[in-house]
Amino acid sequence: MLLAGACAAAVVTTLAVAAAVRPPAVPSRPAVTATPPVTTSVATTATSAPPETRWTSPGASRRS
């Protein structure tokens, strides 16, 4: 859960910095194309997390 929170904070920070650096006159299309890599990195981090940090139901640890 901490890992997911840290990733979310990193994404928010990255987007905030990107928005601050980008001049307001730039059309919205480049901003849209810049977002998928960020989402992909978050998904990759979430799936590569050790099993202990993943969300599981209370009974899942007893069964495995």
Backbone angles phi, psi at 27, to 5 degrees: -65, 160
Q: What's residue 14's pLDDT? A: 72
Look at residue 53 and give its three-state secondary structure.
helix
| C-alpha torsion angle, residues 47, 52, 58, 63 (rounded to 10) | 90
State the pTM of this model. Answer: 0.23
- Give the model's confidence band at 54: pLDDT under 50 very low, under 70 low, under 90 confident, else very high: low
Which helix (H) or strand (E) covers residue 10, if one does? helix 2-21
Identify the pLDDT of residue 13. Answer: 74
| 3-47 pLDDT tens trace | 666 666 666 677 666 665 556 665 555 555 555 555 544 445 455
